Structure 1
Amino acid sequence: MPKLNFTPLPKDQVRLLQNGHPDADGNTPERHISDGDGNACRFCLAEIAEGDEYLIVAHRPFTTRQPYSEQGPIFLHAEECAAYEDLQTLPEMYRQRAGLLLRGYDENERIVYGTGQTVRPDQIEVAAQKILATKEVRFVHARSATNNCYQFRIEPMHEE
């Protein structure tokens, strides 16, 4: 089974949004104050603390526009935060969730049918490895099991 990388949003995209650049819908990011109840920053992959300012933005985690390039809302800290760095470890906050939807995509960023599944936190790594072992799959999206919101990308770790 391949080792995994749990990949947050790219820093350049996040910094643009934190500096007020338009989101995937062309809108200015919305600013809100966190109540501390489940707002996950997609860059540091940690909860946004109660009282902290955060952004809600429309995000499309794909490089191409095609029928499978879903778009939806995500949260980011309004102020600069550090990128999630422990890429080979499932972010701690996701170990506390009820579950995540995992779905495999091919090299053309299209869903590989039969790979989608909702898994408990203790199953995420094994399920992602099995999905990535599917011939056509190049990466996996982790999404909210209840709202389908994009969380992070899972890729095989490339040995150098």
Structure 2
Amino acid sequence: MTLRYVAMPEMDAERLRQGGGDAFGNLPERRVSDGDGVPCRHCLRNVEEGEAYLILAYRPFSSAQPYAETGPIFMHADACPAADRSLLPPILTSSRDYLLRGYSADERIVYGTGGVVPAENLEQRAEELLARPDVAYVHVRSAKYNCYQCRIEAA
């Protein structure tokens, strides 16, 4: 199985950089990175020390519904290249483990799919989940803070 790593859409990133509101309607907060633990959800790379970034509430779902979790994320304040969908993103190699959770096509959690996975087993577990007929895609989240990282789909 070939995996595809799906980042925040370019249109959403640009709207937020231009002063658009986040999932709660608030303006993103602008900060400068110390280079430690600031993963951009658009390019799926870490924001380097001295680079500006935005903090905002993000809901990676098409609509507000009971399973549409909203939480804090970071992204480069200035334009950054879109992530290469075919390669394991750098932000998924910077922690020891991640929370993976399968979702159905109607954006509901598929119970029994969630769990913390060691980083070296992330792709294998994503493939196992995506092989299930009831799982349309997988969310990767921080195991420590539950922050959304990216979405994984079968290519």
**Partner amino acid, structure 1, of 2:145:** N
Q: Secondary structure at the match of 2:140?
A: strand
1:84 aligns with 2:79: no
Displacement after TM superposition at 1:88 (Å)? 1.9
The CA distance in 1 between the partners of 2:70 and 2:94, in whole Å, is: 25
**Partner amino acid, structure 1, of 2:87:** T
Number of aligned positions between the proteins: 155
Match of 1:101 among 96, 99, 102: 99
Q: Secondary structure at the match of 1:22?
A: coil
**Partner amino acid, structure 2, of 1:6:** Y
Partner of 2:14: 15
Q: Secondary structure at the match of 2:93?
A: helix
The CA distance in 1 between the partners of 2:149 and 2:4, in whole Å, is: 14
1:126 aligns with 2:124: yes
The CA distance in 2 between the partners of 1:54 and 1:133, in whole Å, is: 36
Cα distance per residue 1:68-112 (max 9 Å; x no partner): 000000001000111112x12211332231111000000110000
Q: Secondary structure at the match of 2:49?
A: coil
Does the 8 A contact of 2:103 with 2:137 survive in 1? yes
Partner of 1:24: 23
The CA distance in 2 between the partners of 1:92 and 1:152, in whole Å, is: 11
**Partner amino acid, structure 2, of 1:116:** G
Indicate the RMSD between aligned Cα atoms, in angstroms: 0.8
Q: Which moved more, 1:100-109 or 1:87-96?
A: 87-96
Does the 8 A contact of 2:3 with 2:154 survive in 1? yes
Give aligned-pair identity as a percent.
48
Partner of 1:146: 144
**Partner amino acid, structure 1, of 2:36:** D
- Ranges in structure 2 where 5+ consecutive residues have no aligned partner: none
Cα distance per residue 1:84-141 (max 9 Å; x no partner): 12x1221133223111100000011000000011111110110000011112100000
Does the 8 A contact of 2:46 with 2:90 survive in 1? no
The CA distance in 2 between the partners of 1:93 and 1:67, in whole Å, is: 28
Q: Secondary structure at the match of 2:47?
A: coil
Q: Secondary structure at the match of 2:78?
A: coil
**Partner amino acid, structure 1, of 2:43:** C
